[in-house]
Homo-oligomer: A and B are copies of this chain.
Amino acid sequence: MIVEVINTGTELLLGDILNTNFQYLSKALNQKGFDVLYQTTVGDNETRLREVLKIAIARADIIVTTGGLGPTRGDITKEMVASALDLPLELDQETLEKINQFFIHRGICMPENNVKQAMIPQGAHILKNDAGTAPGLAVEADDKLIILLPGPPNEMKHVCTEQMLPFLEEHFAQQGIIHSKVLRLKGIGESTVAEKLDDIIMSQTNPTIAIYARSGEIIIRITAKSIDYAMAEAMIAEMEAEVRKRLEDNIYGVDNESLAKKLGEELLKRNSTISFAESCTGGLASSMLTDIPGSSEYLLGSVVSYSNEAKAKVINVSEDSLKKYGAVSEQVAREMAAGVRNLFSTTLGVGITGIAGPGGGSSEKPVGLVYMAIASEKGIVCQKHKFNGSRTDNKLRSVLAAFSLVFDKLNEEF
């Protein structure tokens, strides 16, 4: 089954936004055994979109579009697909009702424009969109299947995963599958991982193995191609065992398990609670941990102690230490950890203080210098790091390093 992905949107052609939708879709489709052989970007222009659809219908079996399903006049994908397939658009009452509810929930009247989003090509199958108002659609005609997905990445991903992929699996006999597993690492750099796996990487065939650096983390992806899922899993398991032998201490999770999620699980398992005193990370550690549903079970509270006064008054860092060692120092990190643990009466207290940059550095205390301390009933440990990134990079890396430290500490202590 040959697939073409068509991404619509003038903002893509102007270079205003980066097309991340295509990578997500091509990965998802390839993993299910569909061959993505073409991808086209075209603007919200009737003539050109119609022409691009015509070419795609001629050369591909499945066409997946993103974008152009919104309520504005510029949104024309559905109209052009209906016109290319010679299908009338009909009002879908159920979709209209759903859109209406969306606005009622927000306490506002549905604008008249949004009725457009409930018009669907005759006979189309609706791919529900719980993340927005525009539903996805699957339209069949002349042995071709055209799937329309919304453009905003969060909505596109949602409809792709929850609706499109199951629909395709049902619609087509299994094409042979590609299955992969991600191993997630902490506390190690990309080149060290590469060195440790050098011989495996050199001799790889099927499964394949690849190392990526992503959002401050290192991940290893093992990908197997096989006739069925069970066979692919067995092939992956064999290679995974070999990798784990060499990197056991650094692998903290698999697939979509973020370090925050995994840390939450470890805390829950041990009935432990945590609190953060954040200086240079400015609330990011707490925010990342509270992205995890149910985190209120273990994160009782945090303090963003940006100013020295906040450090002294709220979490009881001594004025002397601030004066003698400075706000970015091991001593202050230790007092922040102990202070916040005490304030919220948590099992663990974490203190993070550093210089995120771009300003505020000196030769003695350069941008990227970060101290992080963890206080528990056993005492306080502290780590010093030096990061090289931008302000937001340094914040992220500090948080991941702090999570990693807490993770190790939990596994040592309890």
Give A contacts to B, CB under 8 Å: 10-20, 22-28, 30, 36-45, 48, 51-52, 55, 59, 70-74, 102, 105-108, 111-114, 131, 152, 154, 178, 180, 189-192, 194-195, 198, 201-202, 210-214, 221, 223, 276, 278, 281-287, 289-291, 293-296, 299-307, 309-310, 313-314, 343-345, 356-359, 366, 368, 386-393, 395
Contacts and interface: CB of A to CB of B under 8 A. Distances in A.
Nearest to A290: B282
Contacts of A306: 290, 295-296, 299-302
Contacts of A195: 111-113
B14 A30 contact: yes
Contact of A18 (B18, B43, B296): B18
Given A13-B39, A106-B387, A107-B386, 4 more contacts: A11-B212, A12-B39, A14-B30, A15-B26
Contacts of A285: 283
Contacts of A19: 19, 22-23
B293 A301 contact: no
Copies in the complex: 2
B38 A15 contact: no
Nearest to A70: B190
Given A194-B113, A283-B286, A306-B296, A390 B48 contact: no
Contacts of A388: 102, 105-106
A343 B359 contact: no
Contacts of A191: 71-72, 111, 113-114
A113 to B, nearest CB: 5
22 contacts: A14-B223, A15-B28, A16-B27, A37-B43, A70-B213, A71-B194, A73-B198, A73-B201, A74-B211, A108-B189, A111-B191, A113-B195, A154-B389, A154-B390, A284-B290, A300-B309, A300-B310, A302-B306, A303-B303, A309-B345, A313-B343, A314-B343
Given A154-B390, A191-B111, A195-B113, A221 B301 contact: no
Contacts of A40: 38-41
A307 B297 CA distance: 9
A393 B157 CA distance: 14
B299 A301 contact: no
A369 to B, nearest CB: 10
B10 A18 contact: no
A24 B282 CA distance: 28
A393 B131 contact: yes
Contacts of A45: 37
A27 B41 contact: no
B27 A15 contact: yes
A190 B105 contact: no
Nearest to A285: B283
Nearest to A198: B73
Contacts of A343: 313-314
